[in-house]
Amino acid sequence: MKLSCLHYLTALVVAGALAASAPARAQQTLDVLHWWTSQSERKAADLLADALDKEDIQWRDAAIAGGAGIGAMKVLKSRLLSGRAPDSAQLIGPAIQEWAELGLLLELDTVSSQNNWNRAFFPTIWSLVRQRGHVVAVPIGIHRINTLFYQRRIFNELGLTPPRTWAEFERAAERIKRAGITPLAQSSEPWQVSTLFETLMLSESTPAFYRQLFERGNDKVWFDPRVTRALERLRRLKQWMPEPVAETRWESVARQLANGDVAMWVMGDWAKGELQTMGQTVDEQFGCVAVPGTADYHLYSVDTFVMLAEDYASQGQQEKLAQLAASPAIQARYNQIKGSVSVRRDADPNQMDSCARASWRTFNRGALVQAPSLTHRMASEEGLKDAITAQLHRYFVDEHVPASETQRRIASLARALGNRKSED
């Protein structure tokens, strides 16, 4: 007995010594900066982190709270300027090309060609992630901003059908208000106001006109009567909103809809992801339709990650994240959690819920029906977006500001800050 005990101890010591002398396999890490901090966003990020973990790469999270990434973009820029760039970051829209032009981004051409990204992605997505023929970002999901969510229980109880036109919307809102329920959810956070405004602008016009306004930085178009009408609708909709409209975080607004404190809500379909984490299911507890007048259009925001090319020390891990994130299997699972839809043309719409299917199919119709979100950085550079958002917010909260003044102010901002593409 004594002997076997001694053998056992010796074996342990030897094993320990061997383990100590074996070169330790340091786990590789990847520092990722993003703004996904709500429950569903967290779950979606965790799915990516778990996939990396299976490859022995540790996702080191650098999440910065704040809807629409207002804080995250500031942190990202200051980390970059102070030489502490993350390995990977959520960077959206034309900024991708601007940053690539400055030589800040790792080229992902090998991952792209090995995985046939050119054929796999929608054409709009494919051009979004390239600069001068090089692939410089990995797309993860397409969000639809022109989505009207509604609480089914309230609609069923009041015998209402989801509104397809503004006249139907007004009738439903009237009825809901009479029943003592707030018809339309809204927060006065500036980005949430401009998210609503851009859908109203699309509803009053077309993707082509919308692009002239937000993408071209064309000051003259801001005086168009369609802009006046969208602004007036923005203000009129306040009669259906909570009084006063508070600066509520979007996750909390989702909770109001889940609880049935409000009946409808215009928000990007990340709201669907969040409602799902609250035990709500599409077509059971809630439904979604396009914002009235926009059913044929897709007001989109594409979530993308870039890899910062500092010293190439993390290139292997960076490429792995890119490859995994765009793979068919991760795309299907990630987008289901996040509320967005796949960036891939080979995704199967029959596996999607009704909100996602409508979004994916509409996006699939191509550029003529697509409008890039201003608020979510798809249309113009950050400065112009922020300036327009501030004016819209001012107009929304202060009823004394006439629409014409807002139009004039935005036109002069567009003249001063815009025109990135106006010479095209």
- Interaction with ligand BGC in 19-38: which residues (CB under 6 A)? 35
Residue 277: CB minimum distance to ligand BGC, A: 12
Q: Which residue is nearest to ligand BGC (CB)?
A: 270
Q: Which stretch binds ligand BGC (CB under 6 A): 64-72, 169-177, 224-232, 276-284?
A: 64-72
Phi, psi dihedrals of residue 356, rounded to the nearest 5°: -65, -40
Residue 67 in the binding site for ligand BGC (CB under 6 A): yes
Q: Which is nearer to ligand BGC, 31 or 303 (CB)?
A: 303
Q: Which is nearer to ligand BGC, 304 or 407 (CB)?
A: 304
Residue 246: CB minimum distance to ligand BGC, A: 18
Judged by CB under 6 A, which of 47, 68, 245, 378 binds ligand BGC?
68
Q: Which stretch binds ligand BGC (CB under 6 A): 13-21, 61-69, 111-119, 256-264?
A: 61-69
Judged by CB under 6 A, the number of residues near ligand BGC is: 10
- Interaction with ligand BGC in 321-380: which residues (CB under 6 A)? 376
Residue 265: CB minimum distance to ligand BGC, A: 14
The three-state DSSP-derived secondary structure of the chain is: CHHHHHHHHHHHHHHHHHHHHCCCCCCEEEEEEECCCCHHHHHHHHHHHHHHHCCCEEEEEEECCCHHHHHHHHHHHHHHHCCCCCCEEECCCCHHHHHHHCCCECCCHHHHHHCCHHHHECHHHHHHCEECCEECCEEEEEEECCEEEEEHHHHHHCCCCCCCCHHHHHHHHHHHHHCCCEEEECCCCHHHHHHHHHHHHHHHCCHHHHHHHHCCCCCHHHHCHHHHHHHHHHHHHHHHCCCCCCCCCHHHHHHHHHHCCEEEEECCCHHHHHHHHCCCCECCCEEEEECCCCCCCEEEEEEEEEEECCCCCCHHHHHHHHHHHCCHHHHHHHHHHHCCECCECCCCHHHCCHHHHHHHHHHCCCHHHEEECCCCCCCCCHHHHHHHHHHHHHHHHCCCCCHHHHHHHHHHHHHHHCCCCCCC
Query: CA 164 to CA 168: how far, in whole Å?
Result: 6
Residue 72: CB minimum distance to ligand BGC, A: 9
Residue 68: CB minimum distance to ligand BGC, A: 4
Binding mask 117-146 vs ligand BGC (x if CB under 6 A, - otherwise)? --------------------------x---
Hunting for tokens 């704040």 — which residue is that? 66
Judged by CB under 6 A, which of 80, 303, 355, 417 binds ligand BGC?
303
Residue 93 in the binding site for ligand BGC (CB under 6 A): no
Residue 149 in the binding site for ligand BGC (CB under 6 A): no
Residue 310: CB minimum distance to ligand BGC, A: 25
Residue 32: CB minimum distance to ligand BGC, A: 14
Residue 269 in the binding site for ligand BGC (CB under 6 A): no
Residue 314 in the binding site for ligand BGC (CB under 6 A): no
Q: Which is nearer to ligand BGC, 66 or 260 (CB)?
A: 66
Cα maximum dimension of the chain: 96
Q: Which is nearer to ligand BGC, 142 or 411 (CB)?
A: 142
Residue 293 in the binding site for ligand BGC (CB under 6 A): no
Which residues would be at the binding site for ligand BGC (CB under 6 A)? 35, 41, 67-69, 143, 270, 301, 303, 376
